[in-house]
Amino acid sequence: MAQIEKDAEAYGKSVAGYIRDRLTGRRIQAKTDQQMLAELRRIGQGIIKHWRVNAPELADAIDRLADRINR
């Protein structure tokens, strides 16, 4: 039971919620993965803004990149 509690905590879920998701076959994403993805998106948007200001000739490529990041 201790391992299930550790796993549930790592995924940011209650034990019951974790077990329910496992039994129903739902994909469970760790809370840290979600936080990391949000941070990478934030950093990526900052880089894109920087490129737009400092390299206007890359605007089309930057727009396409931003669209892919925001998906």
Q: What is the CA radius of gyration of the chain?
A: 19
Give the count of domains, the chain.
1
Q: What is the pLDDT of residues 11-57, one digit of tens each?
A: 888 999 999 998 998 887 777 777 888 888 888 888 878 877 888 88
Residues 6 or more apart in contact with residue 12 via CB below 8 angstroms: 30, 31, 34
Its domain, for residue 49, covers: 2-69
Band (5; pLDDT cuts 50, 70, 90): very high
The pTM for the full model equals 0.44
Q: CA-to-CA distance for 11 and 26, rounded, in angstroms?
A: 13
pLDDT at 41: 85
Query: Are the C-beta atoms of 18 and 7 separated by less than 8 Å?
Result: yes
pLDDT at 27: 82
Q: CA-to-CA distance for 4 and 19, rounded, in angstroms?
A: 8
Query: Are the C-beta atoms of 48 and 62 separated by less than 8 Å?
Result: yes
